[in-house]
Structure 1
């Protein structure tokens, strides 16, 4: 068993640990000045509280998506469905014309662009707090609206690969909170 020193003498690489934690895949979107869309793939997302409905995402400090989000103070979290791997990869690549390559819309009152063909659920959020930690910014948003776009299963990411559940399973009553 490989052991990492606790004395701080060597920097810890957290990536091997985090690859063993499979998670859903989201794309965080926001509109910059002149309604220019920005977005990036994000696997660092979680619920903070149900009352009021609040979630958090962690974004690179140098991200143009983060800059747009902090400027307009709203954003959308698009949870990707199992067939949206190409969209996840596109938005992780930094390709400048990514919004020219996907279907998206800006419904009235939304927090950011909705990726209509790639997302199965979308949460529109208003920024309530942000905090820089290392090279990322923790963004906390109050959810103003949730949209279900399809009944398909989510896209998952772990061990440096994409996957999905083999078939949809209903969440049992009393499941994880």
Structure 2
């Protein structure tokens, strides 16, 4: 695809306001590179394919965590539970020691960090990456899943919240 003509470009602030109206699930992507845990919060998580099982998320090109995630041979998508907004904020903050207490986590059999108390863990191996605009699309092949809860954390209008289904 070609770039949009300048006269058709949308004001970035207006675009951001429009996107804020879309509620999104919240995940923390974790990996271990060189024996050190790394992770970041993403609201751009999506399923891609059932056969093969693929998922994706986007990472800002300026992310200081992306090099470690890119280097890792495995990663986990931790689907956050409704009571984990502080954890989501911690993994979104630059310069924070994200895996220090009060973060509760443990390594899986391959050393990939898994967060405690999440709705589910998706265990993945890298499948593909594509540079798109100011982000990188990361696609992973899901090799395992551990479902634990069904109370997801959501992100809407710049705030975290819980899902309350209609009865």
Same fold (TM over 0.5): yes
1:8 counterpart (6, 9, 22)? 6
C-alpha distance in 2 between matches for 1:95 and 1:114: 20
C-alpha distance in 1 between matches for 2:104 and 2:162: 22
Q: Identify the residue that residue 135 of structure 1 maps to in structure 2.
A: 134
Q: Identify the residue that residue 106 of structure 1 maps to in structure 2.
A: 107
The alpha carbon displacement at 1:62 in A equals 2.6
The alpha carbon displacement at 1:12 in A equals 3.1
Question: 3-state SS of the aligned residue for 1:87?
Answer: helix
C-alpha distance in 2 between matches for 1:84 and 1:109: 25
Question: 3-state SS of the aligned residue for 2:114?
Answer: coil
C-alpha distance in 2 between matches for 1:130 and 1:163: 30
For the 8 Å contact 1:153–1:168, the answer to whether it is kept is no
Question: 3-state SS of the aligned residue for 2:76?
Answer: strand
Cα deviations across residues 33-85 of structure 1 (Å, max 9, x unaligned)? 1x111111100010110111101110112323321121123211111000000
- TM-score, length-scaled by structure 2: 0.87
2:154 counterpart (156, 161, 168)? 156
C-alpha distance in 1 between matches for 2:5 and 2:137: 27
- TM-score, length-scaled by structure 1: 0.82
For the 8 Å contact 2:90–2:96, the answer to whether it is kept is no
Which has the larger share of strand?
Answer: 2
> How many residues in Structure 1 have an aligned counterpart in Structure 2?
160
Q: CA 1:7/1:68 → structure 2, altered by over 3 Å: closer, same or farther?
A: closer
Unaligned runs of 5+ residues in structure 2 are none
For the 8 Å contact 2:57–2:137, the answer to whether it is kept is yes
Alpha-carbon RMSD: 2.0
The alpha carbon displacement at 1:125 in A equals 0.7
Question: 3-state SS of the aligned residue for 1:64?
Answer: coil
C-alpha distance in 1 between matches for 2:156 and 2:76: 23
Unaligned runs of 5+ residues in structure 1 are 1-5, 170-177
Q: Which runs of 4+ in 1 moved over 6 A?
A: none
